[in-house]
Every structure is written in C-alpha cells, then in structure tokens.
Chain A
Amino acid sequence: DQQVKQNSPSLSVQEGRISILNCDYTNSMFDYFLWYKKYPAEGPTFLISISSIKDKNEDGRFTVFLNKSAKHLSLHIVPSQPGDSAVYFCAASAEQGNQFYFGTGTSLTVIP
C-alpha cells in the first residue's frame, strides 16, 4: 500500500519558468516531509524538508509547501534551470517511526 504518492511520472518546463512537483500522502501520522533529488547514475541527495508545524519552507530557488488538511505537499522551483533536470522523490516519516516512506518519483526536464 503506497502511503506516499507522486502521480506525475514526468514534467517538462521551460528554463526560467516555475516547476511545481506534487506529492500526496495517506498516513495522518506523518509529520516530517522531505524532497530528494536524483541525477542519473547517482544516489538521491537531500534537497529540502518541512515539518508539520510549518506550511512553508524556503531555500533559495526551492520552496516546499505543506497542506496538512489535504495531505498534500508541493515543491516549487523558481526559476527553473537546466541543471534542475533530475528525478525528484518525495518522502515522509512519522515522529515515532524509524524510516522514510518514498514516492515513486517525478522526472523533471527543464528545457533550455
């Protein structure tokens, strides 16, 4: 049973525009969320996180928004750059848990 869902397998965006990647979760116990970025032939690397006590966290061009009532989070990349082309994984964990649950990933292509 997939507790974290990324329903868009792929996304293409023009350079300079906004990229919005979406993630939904089903487990109301999840209270910590993060995004990983993965380039081909490399392992996923941590990008940005958010705790459930916040609804927004910003780090440079990357902003994560959390809507707890909708069990939805999104990653905004503004402006998008060709180097942002990668697979983005959403992940979630619960306070008492010992693991992250990952989504299936969204492949972002930023077109120059």
Chain B
Amino acid sequence: DAMVIQNPRYQVTQFGKPVTLSCSQTLNHNVMYWYQQKSSQAPKLLFHYYDKDFNNEADTPDNFQSRRPNTSFCFLDIRSPGLGDAAMYLCATSRDSRPQEYEQYFGPGTRLTVT
C-alpha cells in the first residue's frame, strides 16, 4: 500500500559522521523531492530530481548531497552533520514538476538526531 517509503524512520548520527537517508517510491513518478523541516518551522525544499536531472535550491548547503540511481530510489547524503542539521527529512514525489498540475505525495519522514 505504501507509495513513498522512507528508511529509517529515526536516525541518530554523531556530529561529523556521514549519514544517508533513503526514499523509495512505487508510483513510478518522474520527480523526487527532499525537504528539511526543523522543529516548529515550515518544510523547506533542499533539492529535487526530475528523472536524472538534479536541481539544487540556491540556499541548500554543500553539506547536503543527493543521489538517484534509478526511478524508484533517491538518497539524501549529509557529509558532515552538524547539530543544526537535526530535523525531519521529508521525501516527496510527483508525476511531473509543475506543482500546480501535479500533486506531491509525501513519505512519513526520517527524523534525524545529531549527537
């Protein structure tokens, strides 16, 4: 039933230790998004893939990278997590990239804790 799956749901990492969050989808959608949501803040788009084309938001730190090896999977890599990177990370998909025409489907999120 699950359409957008995120693993793990909770991730604890140490300051400076690289961490990878995973997202998979069963919808065969072209676009996959990664959002960061810090406590009491709005979800903020980090980047998205349209198929294999990577689109980085201008203010996304270089510490954040992403990979999309195939249509179904997308990974978020945080190279050197800082305490300020503790947040909920939401993955979403859509059939196409025009937000006014194509609904985004969200996964349940991965809550990252940095110790």
Main secondary structure of the interface of A (DSSP, over half): loop
Most-contacted residue by chain B among A4, A43, A45, A99 (CB, 10 A): A43
Q: Is the CB of A104 within 8 A of B100?
A: no
B106 → chain A, closest Cβ, in Å? 3
Q: How many A-B residue pairs have CB under 8 A?
A: 54
Q: Is the CB of A97 within 8 A of B42?
A: no
Residues of chain A within 8 A (CB-CB) of B45 are 99-100
Q: Is the CB of A93 within 8 A of B108?
A: no
Residues of chain B within 8 A (CB-CB) of A9 are 40
Q: Is the CB of B100 within 8 A of A46?
A: no
Partner of A43, one of B48, B55, B92, B99: B92
In this complex, the interface size class of chain B, counting residues with CB under 8 Å from chain A, is 20 to 34
Instruction: List the B residue with the shortest CB-CB distance to A98.
Output: B97
Q: Is the CB of B42 within 8 A of A43?
A: no
Residues of chain B within 8 A (CB-CB) of A98 are 48, 55, 97-99
Tell me whether B51 is interfacial, beta carbon within 8 Å.
Answer: no
Q: Is the CB of B106 within 8 A of A45?
A: yes
B83 → chain A, closest Cβ, in Å? 21
CB pairs A–B below 8 angstroms (23 shown): A2-B42, A32-B100, A36-B106, A41-B108, A42-B108, A43-B4, A43-B92, A43-B109, A45-B106, A46-B104, A51-B100, A89-B43, A93-B100, A95-B100, A98-B99, A99-B48, A99-B57, A100-B45, A102-B44, A103-B42, A104-B41, A104-B42, A105-B42
A32-B99, A41-B108, A102-B42 known; 19 new pairs, CB 8 Å cut-off, are: A9-B40, A31-B100, A42-B108, A43-B90, A43-B105, A43-B107, A43-B109, A44-B90, A51-B100, A89-B43, A93-B100, A95-B100, A97-B99, A98-B55, A99-B33, A99-B45, A100-B99, A104-B40, A104-B41
